[in-house]
Chains A and B, each alone.
Chain A
Amino acid sequence: MYLVLCTMYFVLRTLTSCSSSNCPLESTVTCNYGFYDTNGTAVAYNDTMTVSTLLAGSKTQYTYQLFGHRTITSDVRIDSLLEQGYTETISEVRRDTILGNKLAGLAKMKLPMGYFSTCDTIIIRYASISNRDTLYIQHVGYSNVDLPECGTHRFHTLTGIRATDAGIDHVEIVNPAVNYTGSENIRIYFNGTVEVEE
């Protein structure tokens, strides 16, 4: 009887107290973009890009202009520019934040998505193109738990996308399910083509 009780206790402890992580190693939810030329050939985009997104709410923006000089914008007042003769313009603009700063030579990029928004606005500024491109990504977000020990994730389903055409030829959704698997979701086809060596 003693042996039976000991065996039961051992089996019980073994089955109920084992602990190991069953969570995925990469669990960051990102929307994955692939870069292509106009013809659909995967490319590494050589131009330097800065990617930002608009946030909810507004902020005060200071703009400084002086004839013959580059226009400077800042979220804080710069008194030294006024002393140099710059003209200051104060305006209320949408808040934004930079998601990727001075990205160069990328073939793909990963960007987060707004948890509770239904349309994300992604702004791409190029180093060699004066105009910028804006991506409008419509999506539906939902919370997901695989296992309680792994925490919650915010997954998304892409429902639509459009973009301006400063440097972009067109965009398309190739996989609407945004999760942590790392699969490509959106393809950006930039203007121009690359020559493929035969």
Chain B
Amino acid sequence: MNMKRQRLTYFLSLIFPLWLGGTGGVLLHAQGNTQEPPQPQKYVAVIEETPQLTFFQGFTLSADAFGFAQYLFSDYGSLEGALRLNLKNTYFPIVELGYATCDSEDANTQIRYKTSAPYLRVGVDFNMLKNKFQENRLYLGVRYGLSRYNFDISGPPIVDPIWGGSEAFSYKDIATTSHWFEIVAGVQVKVWRNFHMGWSVRYKHKISSTKNQYAQPYYIPGYGTTTHTTGWGATYNLIFDLNWGKRKKKATQVTIIERPIVAPTDSTVVMPDTIESPIDSIQ
């Protein structure tokens, strides 16, 4: 019975420092027991180093399928590509360049709006996942958008109901510049090798558009329709990771130590605090 209690006390003296985070150093033997401590044959300790990513992790090229689908199924749409930098799998500065077109006629008023123009967005995404090593990403981001474009607007002749007379309603090449910003949330998952897919939703807020007394833009390339000052948009991205210039990330080191414990000369047991046999390492 006494022997069992001694073994239990010694076992706990080994376990508690490990449980508290200690991986080496000095372990105190149970106080007050100087009689022949039991000798464990061996023990195993695992040491993991926190992996580090290099700053530059490569480029990403992507294309938006949602804007193209909009073009097929509605009066407006866009072709859009993006180039994104990967910094430590955490920060993703991005440039989005697209060309949007709109040719819309209202069924009730028969007013037609037409424009085609390029647009530009710049911004940055932040990977919100805790594990930065995995290929999937959940991100939040911001964008600043800019488009300079001309639009045409025309409709039925305007007739004065009291004084009489009529006048054609048609204005062409109204030059406009629009600015806006976006808040982006999205996901990206690895599909096959360097090919990823993902989507994003975007809250858009128009900052300004060139004032014109005849008409306001109904559709801003890159922003969308302007029925409200704010709007929502979406993208469905086909993404290709280009590892140009990407450096290998530092090794994640896992070391296992296997060694008999040195028999104590007094009441303490000395544990080795140096790594003696690296067994395995992973990329």
Contact = CB atoms under 8 A, between A and B. Distances in A.
20 contacts: A8-B66, A11-B66, A12-B66, A12-B73, A53-B163, A56-B163, A56-B165, A115-B163, A142-B214, A145-B214, A145-B215, A145-B216, A147-B216, A148-B112, A148-B155, A149-B106, A150-B109, A151-B109, A152-B155, A154-B160
A16 B74 contact: yes
Contacts of A16: 70, 73-74
A148 B106 contact: yes
Interface stretch (B12-20, B39-47, B228-236): B228-236
Q: Is the interface of B mostly helix, strand, loop or mixed?
A: mixed
Interface string B146-182: 0000000101001110111101010000000000000
B153 A145 contact: yes
Contacts of A99: 162
A56 B164 contact: yes
Nearest to A157: B213
A154 B227 contact: no
A56 B196 CA distance: 70
Given A4-B197, A115-B167, A149-B108, 5 more contacts: A12-B73, A15-B70, A144-B213, A145-B169, A151-B109
Interface in A140-198: 142-152, 154-155
Contacts of B69: 8, 12
Nearest to A21: B227
Contacts of A155: 213
Interface size class of B (residues with CB under 8 A): 35 or more
Closest 8 CB pairs of A and B: A115-B160, A148-B111, A114-B163, A148-B106, A16-B74, A145-B215, A151-B109, A22-B227
Contacts of B109: 148-152
Given A145-B153, A145-B215, A147-B218, A152 B111 contact: yes
Contacts of A136: none
Nearest to A151: B109
A97 interface: yes
B213 A22 contact: no
A115 B165 contact: yes
B113 interface: yes
Nearest to B168: A143
B136 interface: no
Contacts of A154: 158, 160
Interface in B34-92: 65-66, 69-70, 73-74
Interface residues of A, number: 30
Interface of B: 65-66, 69-70, 73-74, 104-106, 108-109, 111-113, 153, 155, 158-160, 162-165, 167, 169, 197, 213-216, 218, 226-228, 232-234, 236
Nearest to A99: B162
A15 B105 CA distance: 18
A143 B108 CA distance: 18
Interface in A120-141: none
Nearest to A4: B197
Interface in A61-118: 97, 99, 112, 114-117
A149 to B, nearest CB: 5
B24 to A, nearest CB: 51
A116 B162 contact: no
A99 B159 CA distance: 18
Contacts of A151: 108-109, 111, 155
